[in-house]
Amino acid sequence: MFCNPFSKNASPAKRRYTQGVALTMAGYLFAVLGTSIYVHNHHPIGVMLYLLSAIPSFCILCMLIVVVVYLRDEKDEYVRMLTVRSLLAGTFIVLALGTFTDFLRSYGQLPGLPPFTEWIAFWFSFAIAQAAQRRSNSND
């Protein structure tokens, strides 16, 4: 799904997707850095802490919206199907990981996963599914 947005082979939907991901990830980076610096320097509590936590979360939601818009706009049904399969694979892995670690926590053997593990696991699984499908299709 990632492509050179200036490539002549890239569909308009892929170009918009790549640009949208770049913008949302840049926003996410600035949001995380800015809110982290603020929180560590000012130690907010209560509602302010919740509002500050919502800022980078909003960037993640924007990235998901970029994916939804891509799926809506991509004209190639086959490419859309491959993307949906990859999204399902990422969701499956994250749900399996979350369920496993929830049981470990409930049995008292694990304090919890590090922050952002699910988000990273989702996109890593998505990328592996994309690569596996691409490889499988090249063997046909």
Whole-model pTM: value is 0.79
Find the farthest-apart pair of alpha carbons in the chain and give their distance in angstroms, rounded.
58
pLDDT at 3: 52
So where are the chain's domains? Answer: 1-75, 76-140
CA angle 124, 130, 136 (to 5 degrees): 135
Percent of the chain at pLDDT exceeding 70:
94
Give pLDDT tens digits for 64-80. Answer: 999 999 999 999 999 99
What distance lies between CA 19 and its chain's CA centroid? 15
Give pLDDT tens digits for 27-66. Answer: 999 999 999 999 999 999 999 999 999 999 999 999 999 9
Percent of the chain at pLDDT exceeding 90:
69
